[in-house]
Every structure is written in C-alpha cells, then in structure tokens.
Amino acid sequence: MSPTSNVPTKAPAVVMPNPPIHRVLSGQKALVTGANSGIGRSVALALGKAGADVVVNYVAGDEAAEAVVSEIRSGGAKAYAHKADVSNESQVVAMFQKMIAEFGTIDILVNNAGLQRDAPIEQMTLDQWNTVIGINLTGQFLCAREAVREFKRRGVVEAVSCAAGKIICMSSVHEIIPWAGHVNYAASKGGIMMMMKSIAQEVARFRIRVNSIDPGAIRTPINTKVWSSPEAYEKLMTLVPYNRIGEPEDIGRAAVWLASDAADYVTGTSLVIDGGMTLYPGFATGG
Ligand code: NAD
C-alpha cells in the first residue's frame, strides 16, 4: 500500500448550509458597490439582514437594483438604489454626498464592483486594460477615499461600533494565483491587496479597519461558463478540494462578520474564501 492510498482525493459533494444571520450591525449605514448582481447583491442582503441600512450601488440594471432594495426593506432595514460608475470621480463623490444627506453617515463600505475583459496579452487592447484597472482598482480607491474622509470627520460612535469605520475590498484568489489570459484582472486584484494593506496601515490609528475578501470560484454571472454545464463544473472541481462551488451567500456571511465588532482586531488582512483553491490541490496526494 502506498503511503497516500488512504487519502481521499476529493471531499464528498456537500450542500451549502444556510445558518441565520444575527442583527449584529443594527444602526450601521453601509454602501455596497455593484450590489445588483452576484456577490454584491448577496452582501447587500446579508448586511440588511444583520440590521444595517444599505445603499445599493449599481451601474446598469435598474430593476435588479430595485429588487435588492425591496428585499432589504422587507426585512425592516432602510435601503435605496444609487446608479453611479465607481471609476468616475464626480459620480463617486456625489454618491457619498447623497448617502450622508440620506443616512447621516457611512459606517461600512464594501468595495465590490468589478468586471473582466479577458484576452491573451498580445491581443489585449489598452481599452481592455484601462477598463479593468479603472473599475476594479481605481474605483475601489475613489470609494475608499470618500469613506475614510467621512470616517475621520465623524470618529468612533461607541453606541454604533467600536471602530470609526470599516472597509471591505472584494479582491480574488487572483491576488495570489497568476491568471494567464487575464493579466488586467490579476493585476487589478494584486493592486487591491497592496492598496488595502497600505490604507489599513495608514488609518488604523483612527480605529478604521480595512480588509479584503478573496473569493475563489463563486456562482455568479461573471463566470457562468465555468459552472453552467456538468462538464465545466466537473473540470472546475479539480481546482476545488472542498468539492463544491462557492455561493454568493458564503461571501455575504463573511462580510457581515468582517464588518461587525466581532472582527474588531482584524485589519489589513485578506480573508480567502475558496474551498481550498489556494491550497495547491495538485499536491493533495503527494505532488
Ligand atoms: P457580477 O458580474 O455578478 O457583479 C458585478 C457587479 O459590479 C454588478 O453589479 C455590476 O453592475 C457592477 N459593476 C460593474 N462595473 C461597475 C461600475 N463601473 N460601477 C459600479 N458598478 C459596476 O460579478 P460578481 O462575481 O458578483 O463579482 C463581484 C466582485 O467579486 C468583483 O470584484 C469580482 O472581481 C469579485 N470576484 C468574483 C469571483 C467569482 O467567482 N464570482 C471570484 C473572485 C472575485
């Protein structure tokens, strides 16, 4: 018997659990960018369930945004939709001004909006490069800057949170794993990692916490082709030791925790949520 023959090569496929979300964010005001689809939608709904009032940012898809707003309101929290392109400075500034006028302040920013424009390097246009960097990275900078300005102006309100503010940057396992054919996307996520850590270092003394979530493969419209057919799903599972795709709710629950005072000592960190994708599964049976 070889030393590794009793090591299972795969976890059994499992159904995602759905534990309840407790109201740990009552009284807090949150802005989630790109919140009318996929991960952003799930994060906005989870923050609402946890008691936060939520601004649902989006750039296209009015109906989908209003549906998220209605679902949050049905749970008792306040919400409204705000259409703005996160890569546009004046639209971002106006979005924060409106939020402060409507909700009084901001406690939680989830920098989630993002997209892919894939091409082999020799065919990638400058427009494809600039679009991805502009939305995925510059968009996160613009929103983080406005949030920090408000967090520092207001400071800690102990009845609301021990921190003066929380920023969660939606990064990706591709801040760690290089990704051929997606150099613009991987560069944007690697950039988010150092942006997040540098802002965290700069603002920790104001009790502002800044962290990232690094999702692996999550079932959303951004990556339909890797999960929509049984063949594609099976191929994807060769990269995922936990043997199921991630669901947007997996990220929503983590965002609630990271934004809550339960994570008060957590800043400058990347929380990888990937079913083991970054564990080098090719080495699971000895390499
Ligand atoms: P998605 O396509 O379902 O959602 C993307 C959201 O971003 C949409 O609401 C879209 O309207 C919004 N958006 C795009 N451009 C915008 C702009 N200029 N201004 C404002 N909003 C804009 O995709 P998703 O999978 O939910 O992706 C959300 C985030 O999660 C992205 O940052 C993505 O890189 C990251 N991510 C996703 C996965 C995954 O497997 N799905 C894995 C790792 C990281």
CATH number at residue 252: 3.40.50.720
Can you tell me which atom of ligand 1 is nearest the CA of 221? 3
Looking at the domain assignment, is residue 123 inside a domain? yes
Looking at the domain assignment, is residue 212 inside a domain? yes
Looking at the domain assignment, is residue 286 inside a domain? no
Looking at the domain assignment, is residue 219 inside a domain? yes
pLDDT value at residue 2: 39
pLDDT value at residue 285: 86
Choose one of 32, 42, 59 to mutate for the ligand 1 pocket test, by most ligand atoms within 8 angstroms of C-beta.
59
Nearest to 52 by CA among 68, 35, 29, 32: 29
Taking the centre of ligand 1 as the mean of its atom positions, its distance from the CA of residue 40, in whole angstroms, is: 7
At how many degrees (to 10) do helices 248-259 and 38-49 cross? 50
Query: How buried is 269 (Cβ within 10 angstroms: 0-12 exposed, 13-18 middle, 19+ buried)?
Result: middle
For the chain, give the mean pLDDT: 95
User: How large a percentage of the chain has pLDDT more than 90?
Assistant: 91
pLDDT value at residue 8: 53
Looking at the domain assignment, is residue 6 inside a domain? no
pLDDT one-digit tens code per residue, 178-203: 999 999 999 999 999 999 999 999 99
- Tell me how far apart the terminal alpha carbons of the chain are, to the nearest angstrom: 17
Q: Which domain holds residue 109?
A: 29-277
- Atom 34 (ligand 1): residue with closest C-alpha? 114
pLDDT value at residue 10: 66
Looking at the domain assignment, is residue 20 inside a domain? no
pLDDT above 60 (res 3) = no
Taking the centre of ligand 1 as the mean of its atom positions, its distance from the CA of residue 221, in whole angstroms, is: 9
Taking the centre of ligand 1 as the mean of its atom positions, its distance from the CA of residue 14, in whole angstroms, is: 26
Q: Are strands 29-32 and 53-58 parallel, antiparallel or unpaired?
A: parallel
Q: Average of pLDDT values for 227-241?
A: 96
Q: Is the pTM of this model over 0.85?
A: yes
Can you tell me which atom of ligand 1 is nearest the CA of 85? 19
Looking at the domain assignment, is residue 165 inside a domain? yes
List the catalytic residue out of 185, 242, 265, 280: 185
Looking at the domain assignment, is residue 24 inside a domain? no
pLDDT one-digit tens code per residue, 79-116: 999 999 999 999 999 999 999 999 999 999 999 999 99
Q: Is 185 a catalytic residue?
A: yes
Number of domains in the chain: 1
Structure tokens at 283: 């080495």
Q: Are strands 79-83 and 108-111 parallel, antiparallel or unpaired?
A: unpaired
| Lowest model confidence (mean pLDDT) among 7-11, 25-29, 189-193 | 7-11
Taking the centre of ligand 1 as the mean of its atom positions, its distance from the CA of residue 7, in whole angstroms, is: 37
Q: What is the DSSP letter of 170?
A: E
